[in-house]
Structure 1
Amino acid sequence: MRDFDFPGRSAVHGLKGAVATSHPYASTAALDVLRSGGNAVDAAIAAVATLCVVEPHMTGIGGDCFVLYAPNGGGEVIGLNGSGRAPAATDLEALRAQGLETIDKTSPHAVTIPGAIDAWCRLHQRYGSRDFAELLAPAIGYARDGYPVHARVANDWRGLTDKLRRNEAAAALFLPNGAAPREGDLHRQPALADTLERIAKGGRAAFYEGAVAEAMTAALTALGGVHAPEDFAGFESEWVTPISSSYRGYDVHQIPPNNQGVVALAMLNILEGYDLAALAPLSPERTHLEIEAGRLAYDMRNRYLADLEALEVPLDRLLSKDWAAEMRAKIDPERAFPEIPDLGLTTSDTVYLTVVDRDLNTVSFINSLFHGFGSGILSPETGVVFQSRGASFRLDPAHPNRLAPNKRPMHTIMPGLVTRNGRTEIGYGVMGGDYQPFGHARLLPNLIDYGLDPQAGLDCPRVFALGKRVEVEKSLPAETLLGLQQRGHSLTLAEPALGGGQCIRIDRDRGVLTAGSDPRKDGCALGY
C-alpha cells in the first residue's frame, strides 16, 4: 500500500478501458480513442504515432516496433515483428576491409530499413476498427502546430546536442537557435507532419514507395549508405508465434529472436528456483540473486542470440528449465561471481505503451530508434530520423549475429504479456535498451511474488549489472547497497535512472483494470 507521507503516484483504476504510456499526450490520445468506441489496437496506434512526434529522441517512424496482442483477454497471444533488415547490398567484408571492428551508431551502416510503419498498417488492417487517418490525426496536429517539450524529454534532448550537430539537417530541426529546447518550449516538425499525412491517406505504400522512400534513400546514400529503393519497397513485417515460459503458474510471453525476450525468460527461469517471497523486495539477498541471474542470461545472449534463422543453439534449450537449473547451480547466494566478463551493455532510448479496452483486448507495444535520436541522421524532406539498430550487428564473421544482407540484427526492445489459466492478466514492458530483461525480471516478481500493484511495482528501485560493475539507483536503501558491496559487487550510480515502463493488470474478480506508469518518464496511466 502506498505511503502517502512520501511523494509518489497512485495506481490508476478503470472499468471500461485503461492506457499507460510514457507521455501524457499519448495517453490522452489513446484514451480519447477508447472513449469514442475504438478498440485497444486503434488506441495503441494513436498513442505510438503521438509518441513519435513528442518524444522524438526516443522513437520515430524511422524506427522499429514489436507488438504482442491478446484478443478479448483470452489465452491466445499474437506476435508482430516490425523490425527492419539490413540493405540487400550490405557487405560485411567491405566494412572489415576498412578496418572497422564495430558499426558506429551514427553511421549510415547502422540504419536498417524502418519497420514501424509497415507493422502499424498490418496491425490496423487485421485488428483495427477506426479510420487510420483518424488515428494519426493527433500526431499530425502536434507535428504541425507544435508541442511543449516536457521535462524528461528536455533533459535527454540536452544531452544529445553534440550528436545532433554531426548532421546538418538534424541540427537545423532539433537545435533551434543552436540549442536543445528547454522544458516548456514549443517545437514543431512540419516535414514530419507532411509525411504522416501522406501515410494517413496512402498507408504503407506512401512511406515505402514513391517520394518519401526516394528522399530517405537519397539521404542515406549521400552519406555512404548502400540502401536502395527496393529495400524499402520490399520490406514486410512478420506475424510470429510468441515464445513463453511459466513463472509460478503464470505464462510469460515474449517475441522470439531476433528479439532478446528470451533473456528475460531465462532470468525468470533462474529466479523461479528461489523463494523470493521469503526475501524482502529491496533486500540485498533478492537483489544479489537478480544480478547474478542477469549476468548468466546476458552472457548467453552475447554468445548465441541472433535472428531466428541464424541461431546456432536450439531455442528450446535456452528456454528450458534444465538450462536454468544448470545456471542457478553456479550462483553463490553470498558472493558475486569472481570472474565476470565485460558484457558490453548500455542503456538506450525507447517508448513502451500498453492498452486494454472494454472487451479486454490487450496490446503490449514497443517502438524505438535505439539510441537517442537513433543514428542522428535526418531526411530533411520527410522529417524522418533514422534508427541505429544496425549497430547491434557483429562484424565477426563467426558470430551468429554477424552482419549480412537482408538480415535482422539482435534486437533489444521487448514487449511483455502475461496470461494465467488461459486468460490475459498483465500487459507490461520496461524500456531502456540492454537493460530491458533486468526490468522485466524486476517488475514481474514485484507483482507476482510480492503482490505489488503495477504502479508500486514500477516505482521499485532498480539495478543493472553491466559486467563486474553494477549500476544502482540512488533510491535503493543504504543497507541494500552495503549488503551488495559485502558480497563483492562494485557499485556505481545510475545516471539517469534505469529505464521506464508501463503496466496494466486485469482484475477479473473485481472487474477492474489497474494501471501504472513509470515515474522516471513524463507519462501517465489513465482509465475510465
Structure 2
Amino acid sequence: MTQPIDYNVAYPSLRPAVIGRNAVATSQPLAAQAGIRMLQQGGNAVDAAIATAMALTVLEPTGCGIGSDAFAIVWDGKKLHALNASGRSPQAWTPEYFAGLDEMPLYGWDAVTVPGAVSAWVELAKKFGSLPLTTLAQPAIEYARDGFPVSPLIGQLWQRGVDKLGDKPGFSACFAPEGRAPSIGEIFRNPDQARTLALIAETEGEAFYRGELARKIADFSAECGGTMTLEDLAAHQPQWVEMLSQPFAGGSVHELPPNGQGIATLIALGILEKLNIGEHPVDSIETLHLSIEAMKLALADLDQHISDPDTMFFDAKHLLGDEYLQQRADLINRQQASDFAYGSPRQSGTVYLTSADASGMMVSFIQSNYMGFGSGVVIPGTGISMQNRGNGFVLTEGHANRVAPGKRPFHTIIPAFALDADGQPLMSFGLMGGPMQAQGHLQMALRIMKYGQNPQAAIDAPRWRVISGRKVSMESTFDRNTLAALRAMGHVIEVEDPLLGYNFGGAQVIVRHPQGHYIAGTESRKDGQALVF
C-alpha cells in the first residue's frame, strides 16, 4: 500500500470501518457472531473461520451448504498456506456420459461433484485450530436446532430458490417444509442439519466421506439415477497448494492457482502495473477504462486456458510472465474500448468470510454451492444440500476444461490475500458472486492498495462488471457523466441497481494496521456484519 489509509466515508453508506485487535467479517450477522464467540472462548482466527463457515451453511443456505466446496488462505503468523478443498467429478463422468448435450447440466445429480467443504473444515482444524471441532460446530448446531430469524436479503433469495428448485429431489422437504419459503424475520429450524453437523464434528468428517452420511448420499444418488458412489466420496482429499502472486502497488496480491479463477485478478493487476495505473483519481474515466480493459484481457485467457491444473496445457505461471503481461498491456487503447481474444503465452449463488486474531493469524475463506442453493438436490433426513459445480465443466472436445472422470471443474470461488513490501500481511479479502469475483478482487486491491481507501469505503464504492465483448454492467451509483464518457469510448454500458440485481457480489475485507490491529469492512449490499473486539 503506497497511500495512508483514508478513513473518510466517501460513498453513500452509513457503515464505518470497524477497528479492533480481533475481527470477523461475513455476509450474515449471526454467522459473524459465531466466529467472534470462538475468539472470545480463546480460539484463534482459524477456529473463528470454521465456526463461521459451519454457521453459514445454516444461516445462508441460499449461498452454501454442507454439500459445498471450499478454498482457504491462512497466514499463520509467519507465512501463507493455501488449501484447495474442491471436489472431483464422479468416475462415471466420461464425455460419452454427456453425449447429446450442448452444455453441462445446471441442476440435479448430473451437476453434482464430490463436495469438499467438510474436508476443508476438518483439515484446517487439524492443522491450525486450537479448539475441538465439536466446539466449533456448536453455534451452527444451535442455530439449526433452535432456529434463527431469516435475514432480509437471504429471505428474498430463498423465495427465488423455492420457485426455481421446488421440484428437485429432497429440496422442498428441507427448505420449504410448510410448502413455502420462510418469510423475512420468520424463525426457521432445520433439526436434520443440526444432527448432521454434530455427526460431522464428532467423527471429524469421517461420517461424511466414508460413514453413515456417505452411505445416505450414495444411496440417494442411486435412487435418483445419479452416478456418485461411496468410492467417489471416499477418494476425496483436500490439497495444500502453492499460491500464485503478482506484485502490485508496492506489495503483492496472492491467489490460489487453478482450478479457480483467481489468476484472472493477477493477470489484470499485472497489466495495470504495466500501464502505470494510479496516475489518475480512482473514480476517473481513465482509471475505470484501463481497469475494465485489463479485466477483459484476463477473462479472455481465463475462459480459454484454465481448468484442473492436472489437465492444463501449460503451467498457469506462464500467464503471469513479465513479457506476456507487457504484450497484453500493449493491446489496450487508452481512448477506445476493444473486444479481445485470448492470448498464447510461450512456455516458460457463494459465501465469503475473513477472520483475524490478536496473535497475527489471518484467514481468507470461501465456500459455495455455486448457483444459489446449488443443484437443488438435498439428501433426505440430513439437511445436506449439494452444490452444482459440475456445471463448471465444458463439453468441447480438446478444451482443457472438458469433463472427465475424477477431474476438478473450473471454479469461480476464490479467497484472496495481500502482503506489503516487507512480506507482512496487508489484508485478507474476498468478494463472492460468480463471475464477479476476480473482477471484484481487482477493484478491492486497486482501491485499497493503490489509492489507500479504507475497506468500508472500497466496499461501498460503485462497481462494474465485464459481461462479454464490449458490454459492461455498471452500478447506477456511478456518476452519469462518467457513464456517458465511457459510452463515447465504445463501452456498451448496462446500468443496474446494485440492490436489485445481486450481480455485483458481496465483499468482506480485513486490513492489518501497521501497529498490529485490524480495520474491517463488510458488504453494504448484503445482510453482513464486521465485528471486532
- Which category describes the TM-score, using the shorter chain as reference length? over 0.9
**Alignment partner of 1:190 is 2:191:** yes
> Could you say which residue in structure 1 is the equivalent of 2:166?
165
> Could you say which residue in structure 2 is the equivalent of 1:374?
374
- For residue 80 of structure 1, the aligned residue among 78, 83, 92 is 83
Q: CA deviation at 1:71?
A: 0.8
> Could you say which residue in structure 1 is the equivalent of 2:180?
179
Q: CA deviation at 1:475?
A: 1.2
> Could you say which residue in structure 2 is the equivalent of 1:136?
137
Q: CA deviation at 1:94?
A: 2.4
- For residue 37 of structure 1, the aligned residue among 21, 28, 42 is 42
Is the 2:251–2:418 Cα contact (8 Å) retained in structure 1? Answer: yes
CA displacement 1:61-102 (0-9 Å, x = unmatched): 101000111111x3x211111000001122211211xx1021
CA displacement 1:410-461 (0-9 Å, x = unmatched): 1111100111212111100111111111001100110012110111111111
- How many equivalent pairs are there? 515
> Could you say which residue in structure 2 is the equivalent of 1:514?
519
AA matched with 2:442: A
Is the 1:164–1:174 Cα contact (8 Å) retained in structure 2? Answer: no
Distance 1:180 1:287 in 2: 40
Q: CA deviation at 1:497?
A: 4.5
> Could you say which residue in structure 2 is the equivalent of 1:318?
319
AA matched with 1:271: L
**Alignment partner of 1:113 is 2:114:** yes
Q: Where does 1:230-241 land on structure 2 (aligned, <5 Å)?
A: 230-241=231-242
> Could you say which residue in structure 1 is the equivalent of 2:20?
14
> Could you say which residue in structure 1 is the equivalent of 2:532?
527
**3-state SS in 2 of match to 1:433:** coil
Q: Where does 1:19-418 land on structure 2 (aligned, <5 Å)?
A: 19-72=24-77, 74=78, 76-96=79-99, 99-337=100-338, 339=339, 349-418=349-418
What TM-score results when the alignment is normalised by the length of structure 2? 0.94
> Could you say which residue in structure 2 is the equivalent of 1:443?
444
| 1:313–1:35 Cα change, 3 Å | same
Q: CA deviation at 1:209?
A: 1.8
Distance 2:11 2:521 in 1: 19
Distance 2:14 2:479 in 1: 17
> Could you say which residue in structure 2 is the equivalent of 1:496?
502
CA displacement 1:279-312 (0-9 Å, x = unmatched): 2222222112111111111110111101111111
**3-state SS in 2 of match to 1:216:** helix
Distance 1:281 1:156 in 2: 32
Distance 2:291 2:423 in 1: 28
Distance 1:90 1:236 in 2: 19
Q: CA deviation at 1:3?
A: 4.1
Distance 1:118 1:257 in 2: 19
> Could you say which residue in structure 1 is the equivalent of 2:3?
none
Distance 1:144 1:512 in 2: 35
Distance 1:5 1:134 in 2: 40
CA displacement 1:218-262 (0-9 Å, x = unmatched): 222233211111111121111111111111221211111111111
Q: CA deviation at 1:496?
A: 2.4
Distance 1:325 1:474 in 2: 33
The alignment yields a C-alpha RMSD, in angstroms, of 1.6
Q: CA deviation at 1:179?
A: 2.5
| 1:244–1:361 Cα change, 3 Å | same
Q: Which runs of 4+ in 1 moved over 6 A?
A: none
**Which range moved further: 177-186 or 361-370?**
177-186
Distance 1:283 1:24 in 2: 34
Is the 2:169–2:376 Cα contact (8 Å) retained in structure 1? Answer: no
AA matched with 2:517: V
Q: CA deviation at 1:159?
A: 2.0
What TM-score results when the alignment is normalised by the length of structure 1? 0.95
Distance 1:105 1:364 in 2: 28
| 1:365–1:178 Cα change, 3 Å | same
Is the 1:103–1:391 Cα contact (8 Å) retained in structure 2? Answer: yes
| 1:482–1:238 Cα change, 3 Å | same
AA matched with 1:225: G
**Which range moved further: 283-292 or 1-10?**
1-10
Q: CA deviation at 1:4?
A: 8.9
CA displacement 1:10-36 (0-9 Å, x = unmatched): 000002x11111111111111111122
**3-state SS in 2 of match to 1:160:** helix
Distance 1:88 1:424 in 2: 40
Q: CA deviation at 1:50?
A: 0.4
Is the 1:264–1:437 Cα contact (8 Å) retained in structure 2? Answer: yes
Is the 1:497–1:520 Cα contact (8 Å) retained in structure 2? Answer: no
Q: CA deviation at 1:402?
A: 0.8
Could you tell me which runs of 5 or more consecutive residues in structure 1 were left unpaired when the two chains were aligned: 343-348
Distance 1:116 1:246 in 2: 30
Could you tell me which runs of 5 or more consecutive residues in structure 2 were left unpaired when the two chains were aligned: 1-6, 343-348
Distance 1:287 1:477 in 2: 12
- Percent sequence identity over aligned pairs: 38
Distance 1:256 1:275 in 2: 26
**3-state SS in 1 of match to 2:170:** helix
Distance 2:180 2:288 in 1: 40
Distance 2:12 2:461 in 1: 14
Distance 1:287 1:71 in 2: 35
Is the 1:284–1:479 Cα contact (8 Å) retained in structure 2? Answer: no
AA matched with 2:14: G
CA displacement 1:342-399 (0-9 Å, x = unmatched): 9xxxxxx211111111111111100100001000111112111100001011112211
Q: CA deviation at 1:6?
A: 5.2
**Alignment partner of 1:477 is 2:479:** yes
Distance 1:438 1:479 in 2: 23
